[in-house]
Structure 1
Amino acid sequence: DFTVSPGKTGFRGAEEHYRLKGKERFKIFGVLLEGKEPADEGAPVYRDGKKVGVVTCAMYSPLVQKSMGIARL
């Protein structure tokens, strides 16, 4: 939902966007990863030993000295 301002109308796909609201198959999150090496695209994301999603993009940040990424959960 972060890609469309709340209440915005009149854009291509608006009707479909609002029709499907709340029926998303996954959500996108920023994640901090263990270690300094960035994860590979498609690497699994686990929580409490259970696979909950996949990494879509990852990188190492020298500023915070951690690996981080974007994941579909």
Structure 2
Amino acid sequence: MDPILKLKHTIDALFGVGVSRHLPKQIEFFFSKRTGRIREVYHNQKLLCTLRIDGGLAITPHFAQILMKSKKF
């Protein structure tokens, strides 16, 4: 699955449908060398979130401010 699509689905599932529309356009993914899963997501060299094993997200305050632009968040 495309990493951007996976991140968007996870954000919408956790925070409400449509919240992922406020995701920045230029994001960079870092993957686990062992499992190949998405580990960290960056925008302009700032950490946005880490994906947890249980399917959750650990978001940074910076990413929370970006997502707060959505009324559903």
The verdict on a shared fold, with TM-score over 0.5 as the criterion, is no
Q: Which has the higher strand share?
A: 1
Q: Normalising by the residue count of structure 2, what TM-score does the alignment of the two structures yield?
A: 0.26
Larger radius of gyration: 1
TM-score, with normalisation over the residues of structure 1?
0.26
